[in-house]
Amino acid sequence: QLFGELDYVREADNCERFRDIYGLWDNVVVPRSCCTLTRKKVLVQEWVDGEKGPWVDESGIDMVRIGLKCSVDQLLNTGLFHADPHRGNLLRTPDGKLAIIDFGMMADVSEEERFGLIGLVIGLQNKDLPLVTEYLLKLGFLDDTTQLDLIVPRLRAAVKNSTGGTGKASDVNFSKLQAELDA
């Protein structure tokens, strides 16, 4: 992945593919790449003015909401996923749009994987741990040798303990959940 990230021809192509989809959104900016000038070690793109925040301003523009909507669409709809969406790669433009830059780390999520993620989310939302387990297996997070009858009770206990007993997804302490699952 590291050497792929350093191939600027590939990065320019990723940017143009991403721009073809998300550059059409009213509240998202994706720079143009100049593919005729870009080489393996030289990337030429248009400059995008922007700052690293504020993420919510006094007028109510919420960059976090825009970014989440865009990320969910990438994962569940188009399958073209920006795999490095940190603060250095996300800018707020002067006119309140979300600029997304740096397309060196991208992933193509297959239709099968997208349906698996949707199933996983539905299982989590409905607290249907057998369904969650089924999709964890389908997505490759669990292997075929996993004893599923042992996973569901352990997953149920881990979720309960990581939420302070509430069982609500919004209360999950992910560090605690990871520690519970690793125990």
Three-state DSSP class for residue 108: strand
Separation of alpha carbons 101 and 52, rounded Å: 12
For the annotated catalytic residues, the residue numbers are 84
**How wide is the angle at C-alpha 11 spanned by C-alphas 7 and 14, nearest 5°?**
145
Separation of alpha carbons 60 and 168, rounded Å: 28
Could you give the residue ranges of the DSSP H alpha helices within 34-171?
63-73, 111-125, 129-138, 148-162
